[in-house]
Amino acid sequence: MSRVLDGKWVRDQIQEQWKPRAASLSRQAGLAVVLVGNDPASQIYVRNKEQACQAMGIYSEKITPPDTITTDELLAIIHSLNQREEIDGILVQMPLPKQVDSRAVLLAIRPDKDVDGFHPINVGNLVANIPGPRPCTPSGIIELLKIYEIPMAGKHAVVIGRSDIVGKPMALLLLHENATVTVCHSKTPDLPAECRRADILVAAIGRPAFVTRDFIKPGATVVDVGINRLATPEEQAAIFGENKPRTVIGDVHPVQVVDAAGAYTPVPGGVGPLTIAMLMANTIKAAEAHTVGR
């Protein structure tokens, strides 16, 4: 029987680890979240972040400009937040409206306040394994593997997906844990065969139930980063058959993974909670750096 890797339980462990550090600061850590427009999914994510801040004793501020905002107007907001000493972390919720230059906005955030770890300076620090904020989802996955005592050193890890947010930083973090890492993508020939070599398989491609048992080496650890919604009963039946269906699934087939993997993260309740937990950790670390000597 495969083991379920409970992201909510790991989130709680991470929060308990970081709460004392937040409480020991000379002032309250501060996180500003910029939410442009009224995207329902983004609103849910931001609400969850606000709740996590409250639980951790972090000051949370939400800025909600309209979806008609220009790049220059949004850059002015970022510049203002960069100057405020009580704000340790700045997070711009993606996606942004089409008329906004997302790259310019991310570059405008001060690297020491970039709690998402997306600024090129912080990406360079990740490549060189220099301390700095790490992207929240991949770093949360590393914490999950450590807390469940799943060895990474000397293991073969395969990452499906090469995005700047998950795939690339995930591969680098696994390399820093001394895993041998293969990054796969849409141009990889015989993808199932590559994945079957993995002791640790991380799926981050945004395609529902794409990873079937044919991709999974028996006993492997499977980490499912995907969040996909099944819109129709027919889609649900095609995946779950007579089993109780769900509308939200990941990139890994939720039924077949149970039989094939040695351990796996469920969707929901697996990787998702870890992302926000690591955002809190990054904010507290930034506040510690900002309050030294003050």
Catalytic entry in 15, 49, 113, 251: 49
Query: Of these residues, 15, 88, 93, 199, which one is catalytic?
Result: 93
20: Cα separation from own chain's centroid: 23
88 is catalytic: no
The closest alpha carbon to 111, from 129, 130, 132, belongs to 132
Inter-residue contact 161 to 167 (CB < 8 Å):
yes
| Catalytic residue flag (residue 199) | no
Is 116 one of the annotated active-site residues of the chain?
Answer: yes
Distance from the first to the final alpha carbon of the chain: 53
CB 74 within 8 A of CB 45: no
Strands of 30-34's sheet in order across: 59-63, 30-34, 89-92
Contact predicate 128/72, CB 8 Å: no
Distance set, CA 166 to CA 69, 102, 117, 134, 157 (Å)? 28, 17, 11, 11, 14
Selecting among 88, 114, 116, 251, the annotated active-site residue is: 116
Single out the residue of 170, 30, 165 nearest to residue 102, CA to CA.
Answer: 165
**Which positions are catalytic?**
49, 93, 116
